[in-house]
A = this chain, B = another copy of it.
Amino acid sequence: MENNRIDKIGNYEMLAEPFHVDFNGELTLGVLGNHLLNCASFHSADRGFGIASLNEEDYTWVLSRLAIEILEMPKEYEKFTIQTWVENVYKLFTDRNFVILNQNGKEVGYARSIWAMINMKDRKPANLLELHGDEIENYILNKSCPIDKPSRIKVEATNPTEILTAKYCDIDINGHVNSIRYIEHILDLFPKSLYESKRIKRFEMAYVAESYYGDQLFFYQNEIEDNHYNIEIKKDNQDTVCRSKVIFK
């Protein structure tokens, strides 16, 4: 099989839909996250590593980390392009990067993601190199992504700033609260006044455990320094579900 650079990079054209922009007329970060994960899904499916083909073998992809940096968010009705590629494959994880291009082809955002493959029967991580090493390695592209890797996120707050119950629209086909809904609930922690004067520069998610319909989600939030917030979501006020870092500029 010939593997050229073009084939290794997935290229997906998007439009900032009217109900997907915020009051500033700019794409919301939750919707951008949805687009990124879709592109990951299309890109891997086109290359034979999609959820559907893995499921036949009882495996699935699980998103572990996501970091997004935005220079300029697409505005309502603007077209933009997401490119994605696999940068590395390790035993238990794979690194997938993204670049967001505006309609003039200018790079206006970047993202990094880290995925594990798990066995759906025992939920244990699979050894990527043993299972699919040769084939996935064909798709590795030695193209870096100019943003920092996802970092360690520490939250020390002792009082929750928000408590939500997971509802119908939060739940995905696996019965879990979906990865995008966490992002939206976290964006909703910040007041409109903050979004009036500032923009999100960097956003990170570390997905730690699943939560389910009816779970009470407790949001703990620290302002680490000016414009820099760390957030932790615990289900039923006990187990950590995810952690997030939000940096405004």
Encode contact with B along A128-147: 1 for CB under 8 Å, 0 otherwise: 00000000000000000000
For the complex, is A169 an interface residue (Cβ under 8 Å from B)? yes
Q: Is the CB of A172 within 8 A of B37?
A: no
Query: What residues on B are CB-neighbors of A19 within 8 Å?
Result: 34, 37-38, 172, 178-180
Q: Is the CB of B178 within 8 A of A192?
A: no
For the complex, is A58 an interface residue (Cβ under 8 Å from B)? no
Instruction: Tell which of A2-10, A20-28, A93-101, A230-238 binds the partner.
Output: A20-28
Instruction: Tell which of A109-117, A183-191, A218-226 binds the partner.
Output: A183-191
- Residues of A142-171 at the interface with B, using a CB-CB cut-off of 8 Å, are 167-171
For the complex, is A107 an interface residue (Cβ under 8 Å from B)? no
Q: List the number of copies, as a whole number.
A: 2
Q: Is the CB of A34 within 8 A of B21?
A: no
Query: What residues on B are CB-neighbors of A178 within 8 Å?
Result: 19
- Residues of A20-66 at the interface with B, using a CB-CB cut-off of 8 Å, are 20-25, 28, 30, 34, 37-38, 41, 51-52
Query: What residues on B are CB-neighbors of A188 within 8 Å?
Result: 167-170
| Nearest Cβ on chain B to A248's Cβ, whole angstroms | 13
Q: Is the CB of A23 within 8 A of B172?
A: yes
Q: Is the CB of A173 within 8 A of B213?
A: no
Tell me the nearest residue of chain B to A190, going by C-beta: B168
Query: What residues on B are CB-neighbors of A171 within 8 Å?
Result: 22-23, 192
| Nearest Cβ on chain B to A233's Cβ, whole angstroms | 16
Query: What residues on B are CB-neighbors of A20 within 8 Å?
Result: 34
For the complex, is A214 an interface residue (Cβ under 8 Å from B)? yes
A175 and B23 in contact (CB under 8 A), knowing A168-B195, A169-B28, A213-B192?
A: yes
Tell me the nearest residue of chain B to A33, going by C-beta: B19
Tell me the nearest residue of chain B to A37, going by C-beta: B19
Would you mind naming 27 contact pairs between A and B with Cβ atoms under 8 Å apart? A17-B38, A18-B37, A18-B38, A18-B51, A18-B173, A19-B34, A19-B37, A19-B179, A19-B180, A20-B34, A21-B172, A21-B173, A22-B168, A22-B169, A22-B173, A23-B174, A23-B175, A30-B169, A76-B173, A167-B188, A168-B187, A168-B190, A168-B191, A168-B192, A169-B184, A169-B188, A192-B213
